[in-house]
Amino acid sequence: MKLRRKTGYSFMNCKKALEKFSRDVKQAEAWLHEQAQKEGWNKMSKLQGRKTKEGLIGVLQEANAAVMVEVNCETDFVARNARFQQLVQKAAIGAMLHCLGTKTQLATYTKCLMNTDELSSLQTLPDGSVLGDQLALAVGKLGENMVVRRAAWVSVPENYYIGSYVHGVTSAEDPSRANLLLGKYGALVICQTSEQGPKSSLGDLGRKLGQHVVGMAPLSVGSLEDEPGGDTETKMLAQPFLLDPTITLGQYVQPWGVSVLDFIRFECGEDDKVSEAE
């Protein structure tokens, strides 16, 4: 029962594993994981082709770096499952470790987009486990087709700032996922700050900028010289500000001494294109 509670595998499988290894719990647990992974890979091959339009966007931020990932599944029921959310967390951690591992002395911001194949080979745990294997385990457990679809990571120098926002937030009950925001839409907004601008509320400003990107879905940043547009405007700075449509987004940010440079927007299950600033 202790092994079952620790691993989540069935009582019969745990009993079989303990008998196989003369009640050596460590070897039994390793064997259970190995078997589950094999079964997961087999199940993955059988489920390939089934549509995965549900899932979650995950955003993880640490100091001057942020990552955003999309992991898809077949049903919203599975998207709410704790094991699926753990998979999103592992994808975000893997992308963050990759991002931090490639950081150099930055003069400006760095932005990178990663596809399914690149993500599958990322290490997610100190023992060398890769994300592709973790995906197979999750498929074996939950019985749905799943895809670690894409990720974006951003790294910035000291005089820059990354705003982030997730819409339709799913609260993670697991305290270990406290820094991970989960939802159906996500945005990262890259800004450059001036010495004159107020610093105390940059977190709130970044959240509002991300909220605007999610709600208004701009296609490019544009410039402060652009004429104000209406609801169909696609240049971010010329769009009516989501939270106060009487002014443009550009007019809103000017008093803050902040320059909006770039953004990335993910919508769970959207068509096969990455929504990002041009």
pLDDT recorded at residue 274: 46
Which residues sit opposite 61 in a β-bridge? 66
pLDDT recorded at residue 273: 53
Structure tokens at 214: 């999610």
Looking at per-residue pLDDT, the higher value among 101 and 131 belongs to 131
- Mean of pLDDT values over 222-250: 95
- Mean of pLDDT values over 146-152: 94
pLDDT recorded at residue 127: 66
Shared domain for 150 and 166, answered yes or no, is: no
Comparing C-alpha atoms, which of 241, 278, 258 is closest to residue 191? 258
Identify each DSSP E strand in the chain by its residue range: 54-62, 65-73, 110-115, 147-155, 160-167, 180-183, 185-193, 240-241, 244-248, 258-267, 275-276
Torsion angle (degrees, nearest 10) of CA 83, 89, 91, 97: -150
Please, which pLDDT band fits residue 174 given cuts at 50, 70 and 90?
Answer: low
Q: Please tell me the chain's helix, strand, coil percentages from 3-state DSSP, rounded to the nearest 5.
A: 40, 30, 35
- Mean of pLDDT values over 231-258: 94
Q: How far apart are CA 263 and CA 192, in angstroms?
A: 12
Shared domain for 170 and 267, answered yes or no, is: yes
Q: Please count the CA atoms within 13 angstroms of the CA of 204 that sit on its side-chain side.
A: 6
Shared domain for 137 and 149, answered yes or no, is: yes
Is the confidence at residue 177, as pLDDT, over 80? no
Structure tokens at 61: 């931020």
With a pLDDT cut of 90, the percent of the chain lying above it is 51
Structural element, H or E, at residue 17: helix 11-20
Contact indicator for 41, 136 with CB cutoff of 8 Å:
yes
Q: How far apart are CA 86 and CA 241, in angstroms?
A: 35
- Mean of pLDDT values over 157-169: 89
- Mean of pLDDT values over 229-257: 94
Shared domain for 226 and 208, answered yes or no, is: yes
pLDDT recorded at residue 200: 56
Q: For the chain, what is the mean pLDDT? A: 85
Number of structural domains found in the chain: 3
Give residue-wise pLDDT tens across range 3-55. 777 766 667 778 878 888 888 888 888 877 777 666 665 565 566 667 788 99
> Which residue carries 């094999």 as its tokens?
38
Instruction: Supply the range of the domain harboring residue 91.
Output: 64-107+116-156
CATH number at residue 151: 3.30.479.20
Antiparallel, parallel or unpaired: β 160-167 and 185-193: antiparallel
For residue 278, the one-letter residue type is: E
CATH number at residue 44: 1.10.8.10
- Mean of pLDDT values over 50-62: 90
- Mean of pLDDT values over 95-110: 82
Helix (DSSP H) and strand (DSSP E) numbers for the chain: 9, 11
pLDDT recorded at residue 42: 58
Is the confidence at residue 136, as pLDDT, over 60? yes
Shared domain for 185 and 266, answered yes or no, is: yes
Q: How far apart are CA 238 and CA 259, in angstroms?
A: 14
Q: Is 58 part of a structural domain of the chain?
A: no
Shared domain for 152 and 163, answered yes or no, is: no
Q: Is 265 part of a structural domain of the chain?
A: yes
Please, which pLDDT band fits residue 104 given cuts at 50, 70 and 90?
Answer: low
pLDDT recorded at residue 175: 53
pTM for the whole structure: 0.80
